[in-house]
Structure 1
């Protein structure tokens, strides 16, 4: 039996759910919130009562939209807050932890969409490398309809929680149907043990043996969201995934990989596409994925009207669309506050996670707007108080900026209209230097200086301003005013520049 206190179960489940959604290991979360990995492990294992300070920090770091703070307040009468983090200690597996000696020889997943409902089918070939038989396997079902807008997701699942009836879970080991024991049951998160037994017998996996397990469940598209993530939680030899979509929806699919030692970047190999009757099937495979890696597939149905793809209440204004994908809007204090610098390489893992969030945000934004001039996003625009930004040029080059600072700029300037995701309903004429020299760091902490010119200089300067707590309106001439986007005629065109030197 679990040692978890009944009163803390809602908080533990909510913590696991948001850590899973954000792709943070226990160690990564511990570092980000200022607690030890042992403390986080014991909280999730029910062996340690969570502290209010921990709950507040975790809610902020995981961008949970107040869900963790609210859940802690609900359970607070049943727990005693402890403000002092535990000292580092070896992490021990609790009684309900997954056996570390399980090797996944093949992790195969398929997501099938029929136009209204997603069906996820997971198949894993397990090898028992331990001296003891294994009789259960831990699985999670986690949904997030609006990954960039936690408040909106929280509201959706509070009003319309994910139920066991609609999931229609089935599971089997080999060819035998099996049951399960629920460990956590929350509005948007289910965690349960698949039990290798049924009414006719028990089917343990003995040392040195291999077996296949399979489980399948369904979720309607108004609760699922347009993403599918595979997390490598156990040593895995091969991972494969397929997305099976109706061809009439004209799907566009892309994928990103995040590991403990690298920022999010596109899949190393291409996603293979096949056409079969009226279906489009996207498949991707990798061998020997690193432990704790996350592989995230996202998509857009180009033939489906916007309101059908996202929600019946999909906002129509440009700013509301940006808000719906998780972009902080003007008026939030974080946009006028200087961002906190990274201490690199000590905080390299934190920097990688932030850059992964930025890359994911640009993919979401590209699905709702055409960025012919290029695009950029800074961490404060996602509610993250760290000095990181990325720029995607019109030619497709991705520029990552960590702790950037403009150290020199050209005397020659020009004025162009700019837009900002944090108030996207307007455009403003902004004077900028045609060339800037930027000092920045890489993930190892090495410093370098890069010179950017013309359009790229404008994009980079715009994002560095965000990290300094400035919006582009602060750069506009005193007599200039932003114009409504409906009056702007530059959409779909690049910025133009007269020939001439732009050297600082």
Structure 2
């Protein structure tokens, strides 16, 4: 049986629709929901059991952001249906629909420009959205969202961190305006949701001078900015497409001295993470490195996440708090390391350091012994958290003599510690450790502590120790450690009994500020 031109045109429309739907990672049900149709209708169109209508084509073109391809196939179908022949072209007489919006929504984002800059220990975000009211009602408010996730990929740890250190509205220093630069009107705002790590805020098209709603057919630009300290912001920046968007540009502005590396992923409602489809461009401007990524016509509900790491974090400038340098103490606190308070004196003595914390400080408590093997799963989880924290810490600073971390330093009441000796790819895991023997020979070497990293102090320790500890299965073993490794292990075992290295120093001995300390290998 011969196939008519109308049938061929309907088939071409169905194929184009299916191609763009799958390219955007949507199921038929998801597409139908965004278009306002029953899911069976989309199935019937793609199966060529129903013919497309103008309303269906307009909605599909806008929801899938098909750059006019779906609309052109519909015009070809209309040409064939009316017997006019030829291939329809998109002209001024039959333009691509500028947009179609689901019921209840009247806004189109014609261009979103988002900038995230790391400056002085803070992440400063500025977003500008060019808006067009394509609806039938005036728009009097615009919803924005601010979300933080200190440890992406570890939701339990992030939840604990933000529960203990909630993000406040006040610290955001939110500012918003409407209109072009030079003639912008400040915008009032009102909180919709206020959670530990998530805020929803209405930007109001009004201020003390009056109201200025966005009427149908009008355009404007909304710009807002806020800041979040690095102790609450993870190394990621996500943009979500909640309104039909024509173009999106994201810039990440980082200090060149940190040797930043940026990459990104895309997710949709029906697809797992995939690499960004377009290239992230990189340019240097003075002492800053700027990464720019742009996409055209992103699909609704898509999420784009840019992530980064600092390959030269050891050379990072000190973080700034209230205009003064706070160096590594601030950064270590940001990854969850409990900090010991430092007296106001610039160079405190060991005695001053010992009494600088109130009684009951978590670093003064004796850690709870693990019940092994009954608590094997819990022990493995604790060790995993210690390893994750050390992974972040070793990106902040080069530890040429090795590094260790005890569970109480993460606020975990458990007798567990991890020691990472220099030159080893695997760490030493210590569960319920205790020193059962120590040599009479000792030496005095400088030590530091992640809980007050900005200082060093000379500490006398045995050159050889024997430590009894447990395996995950509960079995007991005795390990011997010598010289530098003995010092590292002794330091962490001390933490588990609530003891700090300043307790081993003479009270009158002064600590050395990190800025004045010349790091050298321990001498044996």
TM-score bin, normalised by smaller chain: 0.3 to 0.5
TM-score w.r.t. the length of structure 1 is: 0.44
